[in-house]
Chains A and B, each alone.
Chain A
Amino acid sequence: MKKIAITIFCFFLCAGFLYAQDDRTAALVSSEKNGWEYELKAGMNIGGASPLPLPVEIRSIDNYNPLLNGTLEGTVTHWWGNSKKWGTSVGLKLETKGMKTGATVKNYSMEIIDGGSRVAGYWTGFVHTKNHSGMLTVPVLANFRIAPRWTVKAGAYASYLIDKEFSGYVSDGYLREGTPIGQKLEFTDGKTATYNFDNNLRSFQWGFMAGASWKAFRHFSLNADLSWGMNDIFKKDFKTITFDLYPIYLNLGFGYQF
């Protein structure tokens, strides 16, 4: 996380120098004439992995923290024809997606894990979840220039997860061991139990994206993209969480066009 924040900071610093200099090489100028555009982008992901619709087990969402999820991306766009209205872009993005939530649940399938031992059952009470993963993403988008400074885009993305985290703890409630009529194990008076499903997260994610960018200056643009995951963040054989979770994130950021 820290590393990514530092990288983003460096990027802004470099971009600032480049902007100040504004001496582009002949190669860049000629490739722009042929419809090629190169851009470096940095931003933040805000969102979460959410079930759609919210399952009946979730009674209330008590808190939500979007975390600081940095993104860094290099994009190549090719604008077609003379009008250069339509373009195709391919990017390579290093990003983190994450959130922290606290929810009150009822009869929620759960498996408390502690140092290798597991107790499965149905939890009623408070569940605190942290989902935070780093990934390499390749977005492929169609671009359309609706005005000289405005571009809208839509397409798909594929991500490969480099590190995965889905963990948390339960408190202020009770676990019915095995089934809803099993032995009642109460966790009250500040007693908590942790759980960890890191290894049950799938490594490959894909989904759709749509967004817009506004060219604020000659080289600077502001971007907003919504990415909507199409597959459950968990592996198929993982049954403890009974509903699918889809990553839905809004990316806000800046771009520097060379």
Chain B
Amino acid sequence: MKLIKTSWLLFMSLMVSFTSCIKDEAPNAEADITACKTSSDILLRSPIITNERVTFYVKDWVDVTSQAPEFSLTEGATISPASGTARDFSTPQTYTVTSQDGKWKKTYTVEYLFNELLTEYHFENVKYYSYKDEESGQEKQFYQIFYNKRVDGNDMEWGSGNAGFMITNSSAPATDYPTCQAADGYKGKCVKLTTRSTGPFGVAFRAPIAAGNLFIGIFEVNMTNMAKSTHFGAPFTYEPKGLVGYYKYKAGDKYTDASNKEVAGKKDDFDIYAVFYEVTKDVQYLDGTNSLTSDRIVSIARLTDKKETNVWTRFVIPFVLKDGKSIDPVKLKNGQYNIAIVMSSSIDGAVFNGAVGSTLYVDEMRLFYESDK
């Protein structure tokens, strides 16, 4: 018994000595902009920071030719040009963040945007999300990003869930992503939104399908609650009146729920809507969980007269004020309202209900508004 006791003590002391030889923490390998600052009286919104882009929405009178934003970084990381350097933001500027260990560099695009939102959408322009493959050194293209050229020369990018789809389906060609461009639009090219299967990984995360979607806003993956990945909205200083455009739609065959179980007899449907909402300190944007239900919403335009069709069909959707809501002209001028236009190939795609194969085409869309208020 003594032998066992002694050996056990010896062994435990060995284990303890293992844990006591934890090495000193390595320098950080990450290179994030974690927060940023610019004189707050020029901002319409809190700055929006994603993995590779920082957006400042600024008021109309702001001189963007000389702005000196300041950045907070991952501990120990450095930024070039230095934080606080005055630069000309007439066009987006790039910054390189280098990790504390010096091994990783990430390039951020930093842009200052005025609140003027484009209101005519032809869906002729796409660019590719791409990054350099570490091993081959080749630039790999993943999915398409729709964008519009703004008057000031900057791009206005549409948001989509493609970034989420990429996590599990990175090898898919761009045209197999839920959101992509297609030929044979009403005029020129158009948007093609397809509800796709996300494979076994998606099933495990209770997100078995990815509805094709396109929206004004950004997409930032939230694994805890996928529906919160979509951040809808951008500033709009006019009162929206109506949304007009063309669509074609075909519903997929088998309607499934979030557990990937077939729901017999249920037919998929698409969704096109726009919401106009007030931005407050607490509610900077709407997401997939509250884009139609938030009490911040002032007016909604949602397509109700829908059908399956393979010919281009015109839609006209008026904005309807919600009960008891009104638009405050002062807040409107100050850019305290956001607009979000959202299109989806499955109406309940945000909660992962829909039919794989449902396809929605949209083209030549236009947002009408009252500009003389």
Q: Do residues A117 and B168 form an inter-chain contact, with CB atoms below 8 A?
A: yes
- Indicate the member of B29, B99, B104, B200 with the most A CB atoms within 10 Å: B29
Interface segment out of the listed B4-12, B112-120, B246-254, B349-357: B4-12
User: Is the beta-carbon distance between B104 and A191 smaller than 8 angstroms?
Assistant: no
What 0/1 pattern do residues 222 to 258 of A give for CB contact below 8 A with B?
1010000000000000000000000000101000000
Is there an interface contact between B21 and A54, defined as CB atoms closer than 8 Å?
yes
Residue from A107, A189, A214, A222 whose CB has the most chain B CB atoms within 10 Å: A107
| Nearest Cβ on chain B to A220's Cβ, whole angstroms | 13
Chain A residues whose C-beta falls within 8 Å of the C-beta of B25 in the assembled complex: 56, 59, 106
Q: Closest residue to A104 on the B side, CB-wise?
A: B22
Q: At the interface with chain B, which of A3-11, A77-85, A179-187, A195-203?
A: A179-187
Q: In the complex, A117 Cα to B106 Cα: how many Å?
A: 27
Query: How many interface contacts (CB-CB < 8 Å) are there between A and B?
Result: 104
Contacts of B7 in A (CB 8 A): 224, 250, 252
Measured between beta carbons, the chain A residues less than 8 angstroms from B201 are 114-117, 119
Q: Is A165 among interface residues, defined by CB-CB distance under 8 A?
A: no
Given A187-B224, A222-B4, A250-B11, A57:B200 Cβ within 8 A? no
- A interface footprint on B23-34 (CB within 8 Å = 1, 0 otherwise): 111101111100
- Assess whether A29 is interfacial by the CB under 8 Å rule: no
B3 lies within 8 A of chain A by Cβ: yes
Closest chain A residue to B31 by CB distance? A181
Cβ of B168: which chain A residues have Cβ within 8 Å of it? 117, 119
Across the two chains, which residue of chain A brings its CB closest to B1?
Answer: A222
B30 and A64 form a contact (CB under 8 A): no
**Secondary structure type dominating chain B contacts:** loop
Give the interface size bracket for B toward A: 35 or more
Asked if A57 and B26 sit within 8 Å, CB to CB, the answer is: yes
Does chain A have a CB within 8 A of B138?
Answer: no
Supply 30 A–B pairs (Cβ within 8 Å), ascending by A. Answer: A53-B23, A54-B23, A56-B26, A60-B22, A61-B18, A61-B19, A107-B26, A107-B30, A117-B168, A117-B200, A119-B168, A122-B29, A177-B167, A179-B104, A180-B29, A181-B32, A181-B105, A182-B51, A183-B51, A183-B167, A185-B221, A186-B223, A187-B223, A189-B224, A212-B3, A222-B1, A222-B4, A224-B3, A224-B4, A252-B4
B residues at A contact (CB < 8 Å): 1, 3-4, 7-8, 11, 15, 18-19, 21-26, 28-32, 51, 99, 103-106, 134, 163, 167-168, 199-201, 203-205, 221-224
Binding site for B on A (CB under 8 A): 46-47, 50, 53-61, 64, 106-107, 114-117, 119, 122, 176-189, 191, 212, 214, 222, 224, 250, 252
